[in-house]
Structures are given as structure tokens and as C-alpha cells.
């Protein structure tokens, strides 16, 4: 099965006005994902970077799948999301060229790790010493 690394820090998913410019606070170091469509502009970044007053959902933790993943692989993300769904853990997924990231709310992190490990996945902390 897959090896996942729990990234350090807490993250937020933010909603900005469709025509907004990329805000300076969203371009700092660490994990940042910007997604713009005709209907929305979403930012995922460290929650400490998000100013008060920005519409956001805070308290997310990120599990990074070991990559790079071959584009021809099938079922990789579902092998992670199915055990989480079966455990009643909601997710927010982000994919990049090299790999996938699955975000879970911090208050469900222990449940998520138990479900993933029971399904045969290996979860490790980015920093030794625990989750």
C-alpha cells in the first residue's frame, strides 16, 4: 500500500472573490495551493498566514502521499479516500504533478490514521516524535 507523511502545521482552505489577485499572504513558504476557476478562487496555505476576515475553514492537517506518482496509475487516491469515508472522516484533496495530498480536520486525525493503517497504509510524521 502507500506511504503517507503527516506534514507539520495546520492549514486553512480559503475562498476569495473570483477576480482577486493572488494575495501576498498566500505566497509564503511551505505548502500553498492556488486554484482559480471561472466560478471561484481557492487558496490552501498555513492557517497562520490567513488574515482575519478572510472566509476560510481552518484546522486542516495534510497527509502527503509518497511520490512521484505515475500518471498511468489508477485507484491510488481511492485507496486512501475509501478507508477514510468508511471511517466517516471527510477530506479535502489536492493533487500536484508529482503526488496527491489528503487533508483531514485535526479533530479527526487520529481516526484517519487508524483507518489508513488498518487498510495497510503506513503513516509517519514529518518530524520524529509523533503526530
pLDDT digits (tens, 9 = 90+) for 4-21: 999 999 999 999 999 899
How high is the pLDDT of residue 68? 53
User: Quick count: other Cβ atoms within 10 Å of Cβ 72?
Assistant: 5
Q: What are phi and psi of 41, to 5 degrees?
A: -135, 115
How high is the pLDDT of residue 73? 55
Closest CA to 68 of 103, 31, 116, 100: 100
Whole-angstrom distance, CA of residue 114 vs CA of residue 121:
10
131, part of any domain: no
108, part of any domain: yes
42, part of any domain: yes
- Distances from the Cα of 20 to the Cαs of 15, 24, 36, 40, 51, in angstroms? 10, 12, 10, 10, 15
| C-alpha of 79 from chain center | 16
Quote the domain boundaries for residue 20: 3-125
61, part of any domain: yes
First to last CA, the chain: 20
Domain harbouring 105, CATH code: 3.30.2130.10
130, part of any domain: no
> Where would I find the beta strands (DSSP E) of the chain?
3-6, 11-16, 33-36, 41-46, 56-65, 92-95, 100-105, 122-125
43, part of any domain: yes
Cell numbers representing residue 123 in the block: 503513516
How high is the pLDDT of residue 96? 85
Low-confidence ranges of the chain (pLDDT < 70): 67-75, 128-131
7, part of any domain: yes
- Domains of the chain: total: 1
How high is the pLDDT of residue 128? 62
How high is the pLDDT of residue 70? 52
This prediction has a pTM of: 0.88
37, part of any domain: yes
Amino acid at each position: 500500500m502507500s506511504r503517507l507523511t503527516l506534514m507539520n502545521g495546520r492549514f486553512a482552505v480559503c475562498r476569495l472573490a473570483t477576480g482577486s489577485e493572488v494575495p501576498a499572504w498566500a505566497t509564503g513558504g511551505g505548502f500553498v495551493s492556488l486554484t482559480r476557476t471561472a466560478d471561484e478562487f481557492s487558496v490552501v496555505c498555513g492557517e497562520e498566514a490567513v488574515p482575519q476576515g478572510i472566509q476560510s475553514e481552518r484546522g486542516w492537517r495534510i497527509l502527503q502521499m509518497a511520490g512521484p506518482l505515475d500518471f498511468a496509475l489508477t485507484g491510488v487516491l481511492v485507496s486512501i479516500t475509501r478507508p477514510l469515508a468508511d471511517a466517516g472522516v471527510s477530506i479535502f484533496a489536492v493533487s500536484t504533478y508529482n503526488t496527491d495530498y489528503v487533508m483531514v480536520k485535526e479533530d479527526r486525525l487520529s481516526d484517519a490514521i487508524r483507518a489508513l493503517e488498518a487498510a495497510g497504509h503506513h503513516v509517519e510524521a514529518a518530524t520524529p516524535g509523533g503526530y
